[in-house]
Every structure is written in C-alpha cells, then in structure tokens.
Structure 1
C-alpha cells in the first residue's frame, strides 16, 4: 500500500443533501448558516444566553435528531454563525425542529435580521438563503444516529448494572 492509499483508505463519501442545503455523510447532514444580526440583536442574544443554554438539552432531546449545535457572534456582533449536525434529510429535520419553536424563537427573534418566528412562512426560505455547504466535512460515526447512541448508552448502563450486581 502506498502512502497515498494509506492516507485515503478511510475516505468518507460526502454528498450534497438530497432535499436542501448542506452536505451529507451516511446518516448525518450538516448545516452552516451565516446570519445578519439586527442592530441591538447581539445584546438581546447575550441577555437570553444563560436561559437558552440551560434549555438546550431539553429542547434538543425533544427534537431527537440533533447531533450537535453551535452558535457564535462574529464581525463585531454584526453576524451570527450557526452550525449543526443532524440525522437524516434537510426537509424532515426542518419539520423536526418545529418541536423546539419556543426555544428557537427565544434564540433568534429580534436577533437575526429577517427572522420573524419559526411559524412564519418565510422561515424556511430564510434558512435556505443563509445556508452554506461545508467545503470539508467529516463525522467519526456517520451511520450512528442520535437515537442509536442513546440506545447504546441505555444498553451499556444496564450491562454495567448487571456486572456490578454480579460482583
């Protein structure tokens, strides 16, 4: 095996999402948004930050398909970077995150220019207009969903409990 073959032996097939923006590896889709922040929006975002961060686990567990989710302000608080990895296709994901509407509205309403609330008919087109596909995308476990991970964790906990009881 040549050095090049060794270095590329574990290459992952990266494709475009079949039904929307972003890239895809196995069962994992990625989405990156760069959004303009309204004047004063950064202050509102920071005022809500502790509350929205504290609720992240609740809302993302309800959605059930989010692998990871990150937001940060940049360019002197004039833009926001939103990145996430989720299970499945874009259109079903967009429907799934509707379960977190109150949380999403708390994060983005009065902060992101053009965002009028999750239920607004302009939200999906806005998301698509702000989306950028990753140039490089890697996922260590592209065929393991969030639900698979939770199931494996429950199985591991149960197995550990059996082993502890046996000792």
Structure 2
C-alpha cells in the first residue's frame, strides 16, 4: 500500500523502501532547444547512458526528464530509497553541473549554492503522485547484490566441474529457482 513518507512532512508517496518524486517546471521562453540539448548531454553522460546502470546517486531506481506542452513544461520524475532528506543530501553532494545545465532553463532556478537552496528549489516544483506502485521489493543496493549473486551462480552452473556439488540436496531449492523461466 502506498503511503505518504513518514516523519517530517516531505514530498512523495512511499511504497516499501522507495518513494516517488515528481517535479514540474515551466521552461523559460526561448530556452526549449537549449533544454533539449542539455537533457541529451545528460543522457550521453556516464551513469545516465542507456545500459550504464550506475547513476551517481546510488539510491535512485530510475529517473526521467520529459519535455511536454510543446516544450514549455518539463517533468523530472524518479523513485529513490530512503528518506527524502537523505536523498536531497546525496543529490547535493554530487557534482551538479549536469543538472545545473538543465535547470538553468526553467523558471525559478537561481543556482544551487547549498543544500537549503536545493531543497527550496525542489519543493517549489514538487507534486505528490495521486498513485504510485512498484513491481518489485527491495532497495537499489539489495537489487544490485541479487544481480551479482545471480551472475556468480550462473558462472557456477556453467563450470563443468560443478556437477557433483550441484547434486547435493541442499541446493535443490536454488536449482529449482534457477530453472524457473
């Protein structure tokens, strides 16, 4: 069940360990093409390229920028693990040049000199979702570990010398799960 984040009133709906986060901005008149270019530069940057799976903010499940209303509005939507304040601190501790290059094209942006400015800017554009659902439990850290464990297990399965060990009855549930398509 989706619930508002607990503690200090903060934006977003929380499901399990993750919270949703949606920001809506008005694009400064005449900045549409520059904004599109800035979003493309972000998309082409390490950690943001399709298939990189290594976003600089390690608690983010996914993130997207969407230009809409003929390029006059910008949506930034994401979901992340943990409390909103921790997410903001993590965000503000990273090099923000790529985000600065995007946000400078929206109304109300005057730079992000400190954490208070980051929070104020974000809160000015945030809208809590009416509904939010997830298709899997777990944090980004847990999911990445599960993927590493699966990759290591696949290597064991591919090893020709593993046959005898894999016949041990204690491994039956693991092997049954691995065989499940």
Q: TM-score range by the shorter chain?
A: 0.7 to 0.9
1:10 corresponds in structure 2 to none
Give 1:56 shift.
5.8
1:141-165 per-position Cα deviation (integer Å, ceiling 9, x unaligned): 24x0111111111111111111112
Q: Does 1:40 align with 2:30?
A: yes
2:41 corresponds in structure 1 to 51
Q: Does 1:125 align with 2:120?
A: yes
1:166 corresponds in structure 2 to 160
Q: For 2:67 and 2:33, how far apart are their aligned partners in 1? A: 11
1:138 corresponds in structure 2 to 133
1:103-154 per-position Cα deviation (integer Å, ceiling 9, x unaligned): 2112222x11112233354331121121111111111124x01111111111
Q: For 2:141 and 2:113, how far apart are their aligned partners in 1? A: 26
Superposed CA RMSD in Å reads 1.9
Residue of structure 2 aligned with 1:76, choices 67, 70, 75: 70
Q: For 1:56 and 1:35, how far apart are their aligned partners in 2? A: 25
Q: For 1:127 and 1:23, how far apart are their aligned partners in 2? A: 16
Q: For 2:96 and 2:41, how far apart are their aligned partners in 1? A: 15
Q: Is the 1:104–1:118 contact (alpha carbons within 8 Å) kept by the matching residues of 2? A: no
Alignment TM-score, normalising by the size of structure 2: 0.77
Partner secondary structure for residue 55 of structure 1: coil
Alignment TM-score, normalising by the size of structure 1: 0.83
